[in-house]
Every structure is written in structure tokens, then in C-alpha cells.
């Protein structure tokens, strides 16, 4: 690939300082649903004003610019080594330009690398596709919401204030453990949030696929009818918990639930839940015939 | 004893009467001088001033300044991203709240000792802080998590900084002048906590939704 480093800096800047239009529209809808004068409405007004200011000033929407997660789809003749080096150079430059906070900490020494580069940092997933060119999807995933993600193994017996509930190895069991995770998160994941959920796979593959779900447009319809129905049910049930924006109580606890399913081992039934805060910072860049475009 | 939430503009220092009139759910726009402080700052205040039999001479100036600034003032749980301009002046680039519950073991004594009228943070605090709020006349102001650019915009001036070299930039006491810093009262002087109430209500809803 030709020199793309500056384009990748642009991708990072877009993700850090502006929200995708479907996310911003969903936050406006959520604001309009809350009771006038309520704490929930106040929180959403502050969020929306903050988004405007960040966009106008080209400053980060949130000071926790998270871990940059790159999903790269590429043609057979593209060097992934070359792409990785250019993306890493762009991440360091974007940090220097204050679009990203230095977030890469060595867990052994406790030292922050200062440029968001380190072993396994940022995160890359490469996949060859049967098409020309390259598409790079970027998610900036903050730590607060990452901390409230969860992985369940079905069957699961949960406990609510001393009373037990059983979640079996079926889609209703999936529904119950996802609700349990949303309840446990309360407002701590910076609600209202969006969930990416993966059913099946192994433990590692489950979380990767769950985060992939966060790239789906909020208004798309799951091609698997049973999952489409579960997404709708879960969104309704999660909002019936009335945790609300920031955990202040209110009508919108989640504004999206996206579910994928991978084949599983007979012995394993994992449900992997990636919670994303209201600042769902995703951006996409494609390169076709040398032309760069952003979505 | 609960009314509909209201919006108030308050200027620091805040009187006891003003703070006791606030109720959970109220939106407040704060203006005036506030001080940031998170983990290292709280540990330091407890060990060096509050539980210490004698304040060391080297820390006496900081102590006197903090006493002056925090009396009827507020402390903000925040680790800001700051920038030093060419003329040496500091400015806040991003300044959202950090999670408050880590200070639960310290906060009641800090509220009492310094006469705080409020604590700003996110996620709420526990029963000991709630009790201190009732006894000493203080509230928990919840800032909006992630609203980093907006809050940095509300910081009009960095007035001073204490313990920067000892604690590092995010952990230092930054003395800042704010204008219309938006917060929501989630724990009040009447013993109410939105965090407790929402958790209890959502627990009941979860029990219903997972039955059968």
C-alpha cells in the first residue's frame, strides 16, 4: 500500500472527536424521551452539548480515548505488515497531536509508553476479503465501559438479592444473563450504552466477535430472524430496568443491542458481552484504487 | 418530602442553607473556585493533616491554602489533561470526572475536617459519605462521565496548583475557576441517594424479567 499514515491519523481524529451520525441521532431521540427537567434529560443535554464542543474544537469527546481496536479487511495482494506499521505510526502521531491520551501501560513495570504503542497495543484483527483494496474499521473503546463487560457460561445460576434465577442453554438463557450484566453495570459504564453480544465461539473469539457487533449501524436488522427478535426483546427489557443515563434513573439505559452467533463446542456455551458507553466512537476508512474515503 | 427537580445556579463558597435546600435530581451550574483531588490527594489530606498530630512545617502553606479554599467549597474527583502554554500558564484540555467510590474511605473525614459543601465526581459514593453529607451539610454532585470537552470549556482559569511535582499532573490539587460547570445532585443532605434508589428499583425489575 502507498503512504497512508496521514489518512490513518485522519481516521483516528474522526473517531476521537466526532460521533457517527446514527449514534448522535439516537442520543437526541433518547433526550427527547426523558421527562422535562429530569436528571436523565440534563445528563443527555450535557452529553449532546459536549459532542458539539468536541467537534467544533477538534478535541476528544472523552478524555479516556480508550484502546484503539482496528479491524482490517484487505485484498490478497496487500501486506498486513506494511499496514500495521503505518497504522502504528499514525497512532503515535495522533497521540502527539492530543487526539489520543497516552493509554498504553506496561502491566509489569507500570510504565506508560507515552505514545499508545506497546505489546498488543493497539489491537489489530486482520482478515483477507474477496475484494479490491482495504477497509479499516476503528473503535476507540474506553476503560469505564470495558470494565463492565462480562462473559457468562451457560447454564448459569444467578442471584438477585438472595433469590436465584436459572439461565439455560438457549436464547432465553442468553437474554437473562445479558440483563444480569446490564443490571450489574448500573451507570458505571457511562450509560446509555450499546451492547455487542456474541453467542458461542471460544472465550477469546467471543469477545472479538462481540466487539465486531458494535460496528453495525444502529438501525440495521439482524439477518438471523431469531437474533433480530432477541435484539428487540433485550433492548426493551434492558430499558425496563430504568437505570437510565449515568445511572440517574430514566427511560434509556441502552440505545442498541447487536448480537452475533458463532458455532460453539458441544461442551461450551459462552455469552460474551461488550458494553460500550454512550460515546460509541467508531469510524471507517476505505481505500479503493488508491482513493481514500471515510464513512 | 420530595419535590420536582429544579435547576439552580450556585456560586462558591456555598452556604449551609443553600446546600440543604438541594435535593437529589436537581441540576446545578457551579461557578467560582473549586479544587481537584483524587486518590493521592485524599490519602495525603488524611495522613498529613486530618489524622496527623502535627502538620509538618513543609506542608503548612498547602494546608492553610486548602483550608481557605475548601471551607464551604467543593472538591472535584478529576485527573485532567492539562497543557502548559508558552507563557507558562496552564490550561485544561479535557477534564471529565473520575470514579469516586475509591475515596469512600477518606471522604467523610475530608468533608468534616475542611467543611466541604460538596464533592464532584461520577458513579456516586457509599453510606459513610451519605451520612457525612447529612451531618455536615454537603451533597454529591454527579458530573457527566465523558463530557470532557464541555467541562474543560467551563474551566475559565487555572488559578494555582499544589503538589504537582510530588503527585504528578493527574493527581495534583488544581485550583480552578469554573463558570457554569453542569452537575446533578445524586446524594443530598436529607439522606437520599439516587444510586441506592435506582439500584433497588432495577433489582426488582430484573427479578421480574428473569422469573420462570
Q: Looking at the structure, give the CATH architecture of the domain made up of residues A5-18+61-142+280-294.
A: 2-Layer Sandwich (3.30)
Q: In what order do the strands lie in the sheet with A134-141?
A: A123-128, A67-74, A134-141, A281-288, A291-294
Looking at per-residue confidence, does A255 or B81 come out higher? Answer: A255
User: Is B190 an annotated catalytic residue?
Assistant: no
- B184 domain residue, yes or no: yes
| Residue B38 to residue B52: CA distance in whole angstroms | 20
Query: Residue A214 has which C-alpha cell?
Result: 458494535
Task: For residue B25, list chain A residues with Cβ-Cβ distance below 8 A.
Answer: 38-39, 248
A237 vs B142, B201, B209: nearest CB: B209
ipTM for the whole complex: 0.91
Contact criterion met (CB < 8 Å) for A183 and B152: no
User: pLDDT tens, A41-90?
Assistant: 999 999 999 999 999 999 899 988 999 999 999 999 999 999 999 999 99
Pick A63's closest partner by Cβ from B124, B148, B182: B148
Range with the largest mean pLDDT of A101-105, B77-81, B156-160, B163-167: B156-160
How many C-beta atoms surround the C-beta of residue B31 within 10 A? Answer: 16
> Which residues of chain B make contact with A42, given a CB cutoff of 8 A?
7, 27, 182, 184
Q: Which one from B9, B42, B113, B190 is the annotated catalytic residue?
A: B42
Judged by CB atoms closer than 8 Å, whether chains meet at A246 and B145 is answered as yes
Contact A63 B80 (CB under 8 A): yes
Kindly report the nearest CA distance between residue B58 and chain A, in angstroms.
29
Number of domains making up chain B: 1
Domain-embedded: residue B2 = no
Q: In this complex, do B198 and A186 lie within 8 Å of one another by their Cβ atoms? A: yes
Q: Does the distance separating the beta carbons of A244 and B146 come in below 8 Å?
A: no
Interatomic CA distance for residues A16 and A134, integer angstroms:
21
Residue B126 has pLDDT above 60, yes or no: yes
Range of the domain at B30: 9-209
Please check whether residue B48 lies inside any domain of the structure.
yes
Q: Is any Cβ of chain A less than 8 angstroms from the Cβ of B99?
A: yes
Q: Please give the share of chain B, as a percent, with pLDDT higher than 90.
A: 81
Q: Is B43 a domain residue?
A: yes
Checking if the pLDDT of A147 tops 70, the result is yes
Q: How confident is the model at residue B189 (pLDDT cuts 50, 70, 90)?
A: very high
What pLDDT, on a 0 to 100 scale, did the predictor assign at position B94?
Answer: 79
CB A170 within 8 A of CB A269: no
The CATH number of residue B67's host domain is 3.20.130.10
Q: Is pLDDT of B1 > 60?
A: no
The pTM of the whole model exceeds 0.80:
yes
Q: Are B5 and A39 in contact (CB under 8 A)?
A: yes
Query: Which pLDDT score is estimated for A1?
Result: 61
What one-character-per-residue DSSP string does B78-145 give?
A: ---EEEE-TTS-EEEEE----B-GGGTTTHHHHHHHHT-SEEEEBS---HHHHHHHHHHT-EEEEPPT
Query: What percentage of chain A has pLDDT greater than the value 90?
Result: 90
Query: Mind listing the pLDDT tens digit for each residue in B127-148?
Result: 999 999 999 999 999 999 989 8
Over range A167-178, report the average pLDDT.
98
**Span A272-283, pLDDT tens digits:** 999 999 999 999
pLDDT at site A22: 98
User: Quick one: closest CA in A to B145, which residue?
Assistant: A190
Q: Which helix (H) or strand (E) holds B178?
A: strand B173-187
Residue B157, domain member (yes or no): yes
CA–CA gap between residue A227 and residue B85 (Å, rounded): 53
Q: Is A127 helix (H, G, I), strand (E, B) or coil?
A: strand
Q: Which cell numbers hold the place of B91?
A: 490550561
User: Average per-residue pLDDT in chain A?
Assistant: 95
Grid coordinates 459514593 are at which residue?
Answer: B125
The domain locations on chain A are 5-18+61-142+280-294, 145-276
- Which region holds residue B149: left if phi is over 0, alpha if psi is between -120 and 50, else beta? alpha
Per-residue pLDDT, B2: 75
Residues A208-225 have pLDDT tens digits of 999 999 999 999 999 999
Assigned domain for B3 exists: no
pLDDT value at residue B180: 96
The answer to the question of residue B201 being in a domain is: yes
- Examine residue B4 and state whether it is found in any structural domain, yes or no: no
Nearest to A282 by CA among A86, A23, A41, A42: A23
Amino acid at each position: 500500500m502507498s503512504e497512508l499514515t496521514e489518512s490513518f491519523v485522519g481516521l483516528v481524529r474522526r473517531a476521537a472527536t466526532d460521533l457517527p451520525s446514527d449514534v448522535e441521532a439516537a442520543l437526541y431521540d433518547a433526550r427527547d424521551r426523558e421527562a422535562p427537567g429530569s436528571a436523565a434529560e440534563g445528563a443527555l443535554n450535557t452529553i449532546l452539548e459536549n459532542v458539539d464542543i468536541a467537534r467544533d474544537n477538534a478535541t476528544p469527546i472523552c478524555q479516556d480515548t480508550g484502546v484503539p481496536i482496528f479491524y482490517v479487511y484487505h485484498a490478497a495482494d496487500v501486506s498486513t505488515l506494511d499496514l500495521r506499521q503505518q497504522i502504528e505510526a499514525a497512532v503515535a502521531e495522533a497521540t502527539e497531536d492530543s487526539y489520543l491520551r497516552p493509554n498504553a501501560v506496561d502491566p509489569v513495570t507500570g510504565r506508560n509508553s507515552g505514545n499508545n504503542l506497546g505489546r498488543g497495543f493497539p489491537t489489530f484483527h486482520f482478515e483477507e476479503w474477496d475484494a479490491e483494496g482495504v477497509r479499516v474499521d476503528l473503535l476507540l473503546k474506553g476503560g469505564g465501559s470495558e470494565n463492565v463487560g462480562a462473559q457468562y457460561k451457560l447454564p448459569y445460576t444467578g442471584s438477585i438479592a438472595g433469590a436465584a434465577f436459572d439461565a439455560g442453554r438457549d436464547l432465553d438463557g442468553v437474554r437473562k444473563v445479558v440483563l444480569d450484566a446490564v443490571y450489574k453495570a448500573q451507570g458505571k459504564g457511562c450509560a446509555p450504552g450499546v451492547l455487542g453480544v456474541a453467542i458461542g465461539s471460544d472465550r477469546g473469539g467471543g469477545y472479538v466477535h462481540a466487539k465486531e457487533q458494535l460496528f453495525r449501524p444502529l438501525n440495521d436488522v439482524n439477518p438471523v430472524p431469531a437474533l433480530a427478535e432477541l435484539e428487540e426483546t433485550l433492548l426493551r427489557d434492558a430499558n425496563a430496568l430504568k437505570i437510565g443515563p449515568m445511572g440517574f434513573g430514566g427511560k434509556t439505559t441502552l440505545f442498541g443491542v447487536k448480537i452475533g452467533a458463532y458455532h460453539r463446542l458441544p461442551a461450551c456455551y459462552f455469552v460474551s458481552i461488550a458494553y460500550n458507553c454512550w460515546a460509541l466512537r467508531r469510524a471507517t476508512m476505505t481505500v479503493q484504487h488508491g482513493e481514500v474515503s471515510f464513512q | 418530602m420530595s419535590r420536582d427537580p429544579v435547576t439552580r445556579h450556585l456560586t462558591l463558597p456555598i452556604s449551609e442553607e443553600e446546600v440543604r435546600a438541594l435535593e437529589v435530581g436537581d441540576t446545578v451550574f457551579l461557578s467560582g473556585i473549586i479544587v481537584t483531588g483524587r486518590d493521592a490527594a485524599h490519602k495525603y489530606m488524611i495522613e498529613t493533616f486530618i489524622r496527623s498530630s502535627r502538620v509538618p512545617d513543609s506542608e503548612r502553606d498547602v494546608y492553610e491554602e486548602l483550608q481557605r479554599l475548601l471551607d464551604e467549597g467543593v472538591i472535584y474527583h478529576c485527573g485532567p489533561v492539562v497543557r502548559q502554554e508558552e507563557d507558562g500558564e496552564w490550561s485544561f484540555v479535557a477534564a471529565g470526572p473520575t470514579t469516586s467510590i475509591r475515596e469512600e474511605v477518606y471522604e467523610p473525614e475530608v468533608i468534616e475536617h475542611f467543611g466541604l459543601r460538596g464533592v464532584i465526581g461520577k458513579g456516586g459514593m457509599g453510606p459513610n459519605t451519605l451520612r457525612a453529607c447529612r451531618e455536615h451539610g454537603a451533597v454529591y454532585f454527579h458530573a457527566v462521565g465523558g463530557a470532557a470537552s464541555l467541562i474543560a470549556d467551563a474551566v475559565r482559569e487555572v488559578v494555582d496548583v499544589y503538589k504537582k511535582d510530588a503527585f504528578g499532573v493527574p493527581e495534583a490539587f488544581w485550583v480552578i475557576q469554573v463558570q457554569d460547570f453542569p452537575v446533578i445532585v445524586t446524594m443530598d443532605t436529607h439522606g437520599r441517594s439516587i444510586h441506592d434508589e435506582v439500584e433497588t428499583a432495577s433489582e426488582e425489575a430484573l427479578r421480574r424479567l428473569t422469573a420462570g
